[in-house]
Amino acid sequence: MKKKILLISLLSGFVFIASLTMVFLLFSKPTNITNDPNASSSSESSSTETQIIESPFEKIMGRSSSACIEISPNPKLTALPMNKEDIGIFIPLGLVVDAHVTPIDHAYFSPKDFFSKDRYQYKVYAAADATLTNIQRRNMPVSDSPDGKATDDYRLVFQISCTYGYYYDLVTKLDDSILSQIEAIPEGGSAGVDVKVKAGDPIGFVGAQTLDFGTYDANVTLSGLLNPESYIGEAWKIHTTDPVAAFSEELQAEIQRHNPRKVAPYGGKIDYDQKGKLVGNYFKTGTNGYSGASRERYWDGHLSFTYDHYDPTFLVMSMGNYNGTAAQFSVKDNLPNFAEIDINNGLVKYELTKREYIRKSGLPYTPTKYYDDITLQKNLSVVGTVLVQVVDDNSIKFEVFPNKKKTEVSAFTSNAAIYVR
């Protein structure tokens, strides 16, 4: 399931994403592209190649396995997904927003003119030599926002090797060079394909929304997602890798010119679970982990206690059902740290505030634009209180009290529920 983020519906809090809420088969060894203006001049290359039959990468991406070529180490990506002059801001892993209640496993390249009404304004390019193996065409967003509406976007999976690849989502139109090699895909449909691409080749277009971008490695398993079985519905999630580090050094530097996150890992982080600690992701008991109890609102039972994707000194609480909709909050006083709460703390209260971004400099802040000093506001008005208690190494008891201050809340009620990793 792919989630689409509607940035434009969240201008009051953080609107870097809108109209979205909501990867590879047989190919030859990657070569550096030097005649494309988007391509890096880096000469980093890979060495060992061993032909094998099964493709672990396609397995984690939920696709049929096929013959592939293993390349070790993973080759660097040598072209940006968009022209560098078209990038307005790079949004790293770990954002929580709207129906994306747990930290998001992909990054975003947001166009410079985000609010343009031209959905085909900006070109999208292949980031590396790869095989396009799957195309999904979606016509509905993943969101609780009232601005959610029917759309028409493409999700593209690119296999670089047997174990490694990348993907795009929210591509608004496919390039003719791709369309000429595939059968027509109806809205809501998907198809396995076999299209070879080179780094810098035109793939399609994007506009009036962000471009999703993620990298995944079947040889990597995130240690901070303690129960992999909870993520079977999106099996690639536990194999997420740093999307900035995936590029050549030259292109990493270019991405950082658009990336407000100034601490490592620069590509962001999604796995915060610690055994016996409050920090990390949880799912309401009986709701089938990440897949959820219902397809329509699979995020309803999701809950996370993590850190801001730009400024990780800030606590962020995210829940799939706050008065019936998904919502995200900052924590008053930014204390106590989620990673310091365990069974010995007993019942803990957190007061919730709106999550609103400002600039440390005090200068005006405009959503969708890059600044090097973006941070969250502290101690805004309280909009609710949470009671939470660590029950054991991997479960908690939780209840939210909308529009209540901590002085008005003293104990759990019958509405409290158990959440597990």
Strands 164-171 and 153-159: antiparallel
Q: What is the pLDDT of residue 65?
A: 65
317 within 8 A of 386, measured Cβ to Cβ: yes
Q: Is CATH 3.40.50.620 what the domain over 7-256 is classified as, yes or no?
A: no
Look at residues 136, 126, 143 and name the one whose alpha carbon lies nearest to residue 27: 126
Q: What is the pLDDT of residue 4?
A: 39
Q: How confident is the model at residue 66 (pLDDT cuts 50, 70, 90)?
A: low
Residue 44: CB partners within 8 Å, gap ≥ 6? 75, 76, 248, 249
Q: What is the pLDDT of residue 48?
A: 47
Q: How many beta carbons lie within 10 A of that of residue 138, not counting itself?
A: 21
What is the distance between the alpha carbons of residues 37 and 388, in angstroms, rounded to a whole number? 52
DSSP string of 112-169, one letter each residue: SSTT-S-TT-EEEE-SSSEEEEEEEEE-S-----TT-----EEEEEEESSSSEEEEEE
Q: How confident is the model at residue 46 (pLDDT cuts 50, 70, 90)?
A: very low
Residue 184: CB partners within 8 Å, gap ≥ 6? none
Q: What is the pLDDT of residue 49?
A: 52
129 within 8 A of 159, measured Cβ to Cβ: no
What amino acid occupies position 377? Q
355 within 8 A of 316, measured Cβ to Cβ: yes
Q: Which two structure tokens, joined as six digits, stand for 92?
A: 């790293």
For the chain, what percent of residues have pLDDT higher than 90? Answer: 79
**pLDDT digits 0-9 by tens, 194-204:** 999 999 999 99
Q: Which two structure tokens, joined as six digits, stand for 216?
A: 């995944």
**pLDDT digits 0-9 by tens, 364-407:** 998 889 999 999 999 899 999 999 999 999 999 999 999 999 99
What is the distance between the alpha carbons of residues 419 and 284, in angstroms, rounded to a whole number? 4
Q: What is the pLDDT of residue 144?
A: 73
Pick from 17-31, 283-297, 320-334, 377-391: least confident:
17-31
* The pLDDT of residue 354 is above 50: yes
* The pLDDT of residue 23 is above 70: no
What is the distance between the alpha carbons of residues 95 and 212, in angstroms, rounded to a whole number? 12
**pLDDT digits 0-9 by tens, 215-274:** 999 999 999 999 999 999 999 999 999 999 999 999 999 999 999 999 999 999 999 999
Q: Which two structure tokens, joined as six digits, stand for 109?
A: 């390249």
127 within 8 A of 199, measured Cβ to Cβ: yes
DSSP string of 254-321, one letter each residue: HHHTT----SSSTTB------TTSS-EEEEETTS-GGG-S-STTGGGGEEEEEE-SS-TTSEEEEEEE
Name the CA radius of gyration of the chain, rounded: 21
Q: Which two structure tokens, joined as six digits, stand for 222?
A: 């995130």
Q: What is the pLDDT of residue 139?
A: 80
Q: How confident is the model at residue 300 (pLDDT cuts 50, 70, 90)?
A: very high
Q: What is the pLDDT of residue 151?
A: 78
**pLDDT digits 0-9 by tens, 161-219:** 999 999 999 999 999 999 999 999 999 999 999 999 999 999 999 999 999 999 999 99
- Average pLDDT score over residue span 325-346: 97
- 49 or 379, greater pLDDT: 379
* The pLDDT of residue 115 is above 50: yes
Helix, coil or strand: residue 105: coil
Domain ranges in the chain are 7-256, 280-420
In Å, what is the CA distance from 361 to each residue of 31, 142, 261, 372, 373? Answer: 44, 35, 16, 10, 7
Look at residues 351, 340, 226 and name the one whose alpha carbon lies nearest to residue 282: 226
DSSP string of 176-241, one letter each residue: HHHHTTS----TT-EEEEEEEE-TT-EEEEE-SS-EEEEEEETT---TT-S-GGGGGGGGGGGGEE
In Å, what is the CA distance from 37 to each residue of 11, 122, 124, 183? Answer: 34, 15, 13, 30
Q: What is the pLDDT of residue 148?
A: 57
Q: What is the pLDDT of residue 142?
A: 72
What is the distance between the alpha carbons of residues 204 and 314, in angstroms, rounded to a whole number? 37
- 148 or 251, greater pLDDT: 251
